[in-house]
Amino acid sequence: MNKIPAYVSSWTDKYFHHSAFDIPLGYPNKKTVKFLAQFKKKRSVKLYRGLNKYNKGEEVISSWTYNKKVAKNYAGREGIIVSQNFEPKNIILDTTILNSVQKKMLGYDYKIDDKEVLIFN
């Protein structure tokens, strides 16, 4: 499926481009969550997150990764890396399930793929 509704891509694009600049973004609406449910694994997954003084994990939605090295980059020299298992019910979107067209449509247009997973906190 390559078609992404505008109400979904609008929210995801804002998340991917604004969350990096600490602009608060609330929960997506139920319709968006329902659509994104197709882009997550049906089993629990182990993920990593780099925490530093700028992202203490208090966000409504947080970004995690399958790649420990990516988490280390986000932690920086003074931060820490945490890991946690997440059930599918806690996952909004797993970008590793998207094809390249879907990634672009959702605003996940980074040159380096962080294998990002968005989590409800």
Chain centroid to CA 72: 16
Task: State the virtual CA torsion across 27, 94, 87, 48 in degrees, nearest 10.
Answer: -100
Q: Can you tell me the distance from the alpha carbon of 19 to that of 89, in angstroms, rounded to the nearest whole number? A: 22
Domain ranges of the chain: 6-120
Contact between 73 and 65 (Cβ < 8 Å): no
Contact between 117 and 62 (Cβ < 8 Å): no
Q: What is the pLDDT of residue 19?
A: 65
Joined together, the tokens standing for residue 31 give: 């319709």
List CB contacts of 104: < 8 A, sequence separation 6 or more. Answer: none
User: How do the pLDDT tens digits run along the chain, 121 residues long?
Assistant: 568 999 999 999 888 887 655 566 678 999 999 999 999 999 999 999 999 887 776 677 889 999 999 999 989 998 999 999 999 999 999 999 999 999 999 998 878 889 999 998 8
Q: Which residues pair with 81 in a beta bridge?
A: 50
